[in-house]
Amino acid sequence: MHRRDLLAAATAAAGGLFPGRARLDGWWRAAVGGPSATAADRMAWWREARFGMFVHFGLYALLEGAYRGRTDFGEWIRNNAQIPIDEYEPLMARFAPRRFDADAIVRMAAAAGQRYLVLTTKHHDGFCLWPTRETGWSMRGTPLQRDLLREVADACRAHGVRPCWYHSIMDWHHPDYLPRREWEAAQRPPTGAEFSRYVAFLHRQVEELLTGYGEIGVMWFDGEWEATWTAELGQALLEHVHRLQPDCLVNSRVAPQPPLPAGAPMSRPTYGDFGTPEQQVPDTGVPGVDWESCITMNHNWGFNRADRDFKSVGALVGLLVETASKGGNLLLNIGPDGDGAVPDASVERLDGLAAWMRVHATAIHGTEASPFTGTPFKATRKGRTLHCFLADWPAARTVLLPGVHDIPVRAAMLGRAEALPTRLVDAGLVVTLPAERSDPVCSVLAVEMPAAVPPAFGTRAGR
């Protein structure tokens, strides 16, 4: 369920056919040509990445998703469980995440092929994961007084991962944020609140985020749907970001977007650089439209001890393949517990993704959407190479690439040296597969063509 729906209800290196393990250090700089890239190049590193890590962490993790007998809460727990502010605020004095290891988290992301990391600097409860100058409702008021953003930014740069910041526009704690939650209006009346003061506060915090931690890949905003936040305010915030860091990307949630007609395909966002479908992958990609599906491993963004329904490694690989095959990015979430430790189930799945990506990363990074429609397999293309993802091994041990009417230079399974037999038929190119699948999760057939793979293959009769 989308967060705005919850609110309404509750008020390996790119290139080469058979790559080895590659260094990621500074890969994004090569993609964009360093600082001050042209407008057309700002998106290059992000499109190259295809896969990122989302990290939801904050005070809410201390509650482990539970309150007064219910165990189905997450990062929205203060609102959805209707926790009074004077009961929620003491969590700050307990927040001492000694097991939050930024270096270990970023190393896991890098190993899994997640080339950028988005950390929640401030979620809707307003608590800040850095010792901001603007409010004591931050790490400055905690026992350890750590700057988790500094730790994450440094770790990202040490391991070739792009640091990015999530920042909530909505703020349930700031005295000038409006509207108040209906359920706490009596306890926190809006008397004296001035939203313009909150907007100035928001701009000053964004300035801290973009001047204190080096080059930031994305400002990932959220909580833009309440009536007080207008398109004009979103545009002003977007311009503020670009004054501070011209090459920083901004997601579509910086401002309320005009609604699409029912059944209409995705379109380029009016505000921001890319769309952000949540907990879903769109039915189809749209050429020229950049988008990123943000998805949890289980059912919650923030830590919930009772939520053990984690997607399998195979399902997560399938999500990554589906997004890449449609020309999108996958932002996959982890939610550390109140001590800062990443749940074992998340670590196990990141390890499984890392094992698959060690062999198959070239079929994800730097790829474009599939040139096929209606095939029983997903595909990506990169230069002269087609990648066909075979989660199920065909009983006939053959794969038809419809509309392909050129003899390939070579066909083989990624991770295997054996060249595979091919033949042309009227419908296209047939590749004969090995007797056994090359990977237990998802095998990848790589077909190198004599020329660049087109965005779509046509049919040609008479062959």
pLDDT averaged over every residue in the chain: 91
Q: What is the pLDDT of residue 346?
A: 98
* Residue 39 pLDDT exceeds 60: no
Q: What distances in angstroms separate CA 252 from CA 71, 188, 289, 450, one per listed residue?
A: 32, 31, 12, 39
Predicted confidence (pLDDT) per residue in 397-420, tens digit: 999 999 999 999 999 999 999 999
CATH homologous superfamily of 378-448 equals: Golgi alpha-mannosidase II (2.60.40.1180)
* Residue 18 pLDDT exceeds 50: no
Domain ranges of the chain: 3-363, 378-448
Q: What is the 3-state secondary structure (H, E, C) of 161-214?
A: CEEEEEEECCCCCCCCCCCCCHHHCCCCCCCCCCHHHHHHHHHHHHHHHHHCCC
Alpha-carbon torsion (127, 129, 133, 136), positive or negative: positive
How far apart are the C-alpha atoms of 325 and 178, rounded to whole Å?
41
Predicted confidence (pLDDT) per residue in 159-209, tens digit: 999 999 999 999 999 999 999 999 999 999 999 999 999 999 999 999 999
Give me the residue label for tokens 């190393």. Answer: 107
Question: Among the listed ranges 226-235, 282-291, 368-377, which one has the minimum average pLDDT value?
Answer: 282-291
Tokens (6 digits) for 406: 């050129």
* Residue 15 pLDDT exceeds 60: no
Query: Measuring CA to CA, which residue among 333, 434, 447 is closest to residue 389?
Result: 447
* Residue 382 pLDDT exceeds 90: yes
How far apart are the C-alpha atoms of 408 and 360, rounded to whole Å?
20
Q: What distances in angstroms separate CA 257 from CA 72, 163, 234, 367, 378, one per listed residue?
A: 30, 26, 10, 28, 31
The confidence band for 265, taking pLDDT boundaries of 50, 70 and 90, is confident
- Domain 3-363, architecture per CATH: Alpha-Beta Barrel (3.20)
State the amino acid at position 190 in one-letter form: P
Q: What is the pLDDT of residue 38?
A: 59
Query: Measuring CA to CA, which residue among 332, 11, 430 is closest to residue 181?
Result: 11
Q: What is the pLDDT of residue 26?
A: 38
How far apart are the C-alpha atoms of 232 and 359, rounded to whole Å?
46
Tokens (6 digits) for 66: 């539970």
The confidence band for 261, taking pLDDT boundaries of 50, 70 and 90, is confident
How far apart are the C-alpha atoms of 122 and 56, rounded to whole Å?
9
* Region 26-47 average pLDDT: 59
Is there a contact between 295 and 311 (Cβ–Cβ < 8 Å)? no
State the amino acid at position 248 in one-letter form: C
How far apart are the C-alpha atoms of 199 and 177, rounded to whole Å?
8
Longest dimension (CA), the chain: 78
* Region 233-260 average pLDDT: 96
Q: Of residues 25 and 131, which shows the higher confidence score?
A: 131
Q: What is the pLDDT of residue 262?
A: 77
pTM: 0.91
* Residue 32 pLDDT exceeds 50: no
How far apart are the C-alpha atoms of 463 and 441, rounded to whole Å?
35
Q: How many residues are listed for the chain in this entry? A: 463
Q: In the sheet that 428-432 helps form, which strands lie side by side, from edge to edge?
A: 398-402, 428-432, 422-425
Q: What is the pLDDT of residue 452?
A: 97
How far apart are the C-alpha atoms of 169 and 166, rounded to whole Å?
10
Q: How many CA atoms lie within 13 A of 437 on its CB side?
A: 14
Q: What is the pLDDT of residue 258?
A: 86
Give me the residue label for tokens 């599906």. Answer: 293
Is there a contact between 220 and 249 (Cβ–Cβ < 8 Å)? no
Q: What is the pLDDT of residue 458?
A: 67
CB atoms within 10 A of CB 238: 18
Predicted confidence (pLDDT) per residue in 107-139, tens digit: 999 999 999 999 999 999 999 999 999 999 999
How far apart are the C-alpha atoms of 68 and 51, rounded to whole Å?
37
CA 117 distance to own-chain centroid: 8
- Strands 443-448 and 410-413 turn out to be antiparallel
Q: What is the pLDDT of residue 40?
A: 60
* Residue 29 pLDDT exceeds 60: no
Predicted confidence (pLDDT) per residue in 302-346, tens digit: 999 999 999 999 999 999 999 999 999 999 999 999 999 999 999
- List 411's β-bridge partners, or say none: 447
- Strands 428-432 and 422-425 turn out to be antiparallel
Q: What percent of the chain has pLDDT over 90?
A: 86
